[in-house]
Amino acid sequence: MAHQQFASCIDACDACAAACNHCAIACLGEQDVNAMARCIALDIDCAAICQLASAAMARGSEQAQAICALCADICTACGDECAKHAMDHCQACAKACRNCADECHRMSKTAQPA
């Protein structure tokens, strides 16, 4: 079953989506919200693609590899942006994004078509 084959990638996507959602909300509470605008926007995009990738893998979608390749790219961009900010929520998000990018990149290169 696809969901078992990709369990570590699904878990990484789910964890990344949660970290990005938390980061976006926490960034909205920062003193200079305008300085966090790109971080917030990337958090929202990243959470959405991670949720899509997780669901695609869980259901064995024939598009899972393509979605995960895109997810890896967006996670990398989000992780790079979050890493620029010293706040704990941004640093935790950057770590989750990097882990998810690694898992999705590996999945998109090694997965067998459904």
Host domain of residue 35: 2-110
How far does CA 71 lie from the centroid of its chain? Answer: 6
Q: What is the mean pLDDT of each run of 10 residues along the chain (114 residues)?
A: 81 98 97 96 98 96 96 98 97 98 93 55
Number of structural domains found in the chain: 1
Q: What is the pLDDT at residue 112?
A: 57
In this structure, the chain runs to a length of 114
Give the CATH number, domain containing residue 82: 1.20.1270.360
How many CB atoms neighbour CB 76 within 10 A? 18
This prediction's pTM: 0.93
Q: Which of 76, 75, 72 is nearest to 110 (CA)?
A: 72
pLDDT digits (tens, 9 = 90+) for 66-95: 999 999 999 999 999 999 999 999 999 999
